Homo-oligomer: A and B are copies of this chain.
Amino acid sequence: MNAPVGQLADSMTLPQPYLLFLGDTTEAGFAKTAFGLVDWARDRCVGELAVEGCTVSTGLPRLSPAEAKAAGARSLVIGVANQGGVIGESWIGALVTAMEAGLDLVSGMHERLANVPALAEAARRTGRRLIDIRTPPAAIPIATGRKRSGKRLLTVGTDCALGKKYTALALHRAFVAKGVDADFRATGQTGIMIAGGGIPMDAVISDFEAGAAEMLSPDAPDGHWDVIEGQGSLFHPAYAAVTLGLLHGSQPDVFVVCHDPARPMILGIDGYPLPTIEEVIDLTIRLGSRTNAAIRCGGVSFNTARHGGEEAEALMAAESKRLGLPVADPIRGGAAFDALVTNCLA
């Protein structure tokens, strides 16, 4: 890679700013990607576009593709998912118009953009790119294990889907607010759209998993932090390979354990209890120290969405005392989260 220090290679970056496409969505839940982009990358979204029947809005101005292009947009992002993960028939006209207006298309859907004949034809005709972010970059090297310059933080978890992306985004935002030079490094599709680049780590061929993680957080200046979105769990019977490759290749200096105290069992798998936080800390240090002997736990991020405010605060205070580490819910923020941020940077 000949990219400048701290910068990702071109093959891993998306054309920004975005025009957000909402399709014909009638439920906000299906537009999670669009809402995530407005929450975390508002400055890189110029507006939204919908087709007939859509009843959802992100609050951004509705723009035609030509207006969005004039406002600086470089791509249209499909910010919705429908059941089945396919491109809606009623979307095609708007997507073709966007390419004709000079926008590339960006999708995280299961169906590949180039498999839709009308889109493939329009891309050829207009010279626009069809970018499927589920596809990893082509030339991922085998990991070298070489220690890189700069600092790295990785979020890890007791399970999937309990706040590793959100925690990494919140820590990155807090680091930047403190004047720390930091990049958020995305490893899943929503994160990649927010960051404008990254690698879908679960789609990488396993031999190259650690190599992809090395590519994702290149050498950086001394005071720089990469805040890396974690994936899976070392204790997950299906996804631990992804987690370990990401851990080895990220060689984090600091990790934060993400946990949902209301979840007793691994999601979607029969008969596997969640590990304890101490088990995750211990195993992460043991495995992570292979590529970074100085690895340490910066604290714990709780997802307390299913707890009331006072109950959540009491739970986190008790856990913090028990573990001897900061415990915070980044969505609730407050002094506990400040303590977590401070301890990560210590």
| Residue positions of A touching B, CB distance < 8 A | 142-146, 201-207, 209-211, 234-235, 237-242, 244-245, 248-249, 266, 269-272, 283, 286-287, 290-291
> Chain B residue with minimal CB distance to A272?
B145
**Chain B residues, CB < 8 A from A211:** 238
Asked if B205 and A204 make an inter-chain contact with CB atoms under 8 angstroms apart, the answer reads yes
**Chain B residues, CB < 8 A from A239:** 207, 210
Given contacts A143-B237, A237-B248, A241-B242, 18 further A-B contacts (CB under 8 A): A144-B237, A144-B270, A145-B237, A145-B269, A204-B206, A205-B205, A206-B209, A206-B242, A206-B245, A207-B239, A207-B242, A210-B238, A210-B239, A237-B291, A240-B244, A240-B245, A240-B287, A241-B248
Pick the residue among B146, B201, B241, B271 that contacts A145 (CB under 8 A).
B271
Asked if B238 and A145 make an inter-chain contact with CB atoms under 8 angstroms apart, the answer reads yes
**Chain B residues, CB < 8 A from A207:** 202-203, 238-239, 242
Pick the residue among B204, B206, B210 that contacts A237 (CB under 8 A).
B210
Please measure, in the bound complex, the distance between the C-alpha atom of A269 and the C-alpha atom of B141, giving whole angstroms: 13
> Chain B residue with minimal CB distance to A210?
B238
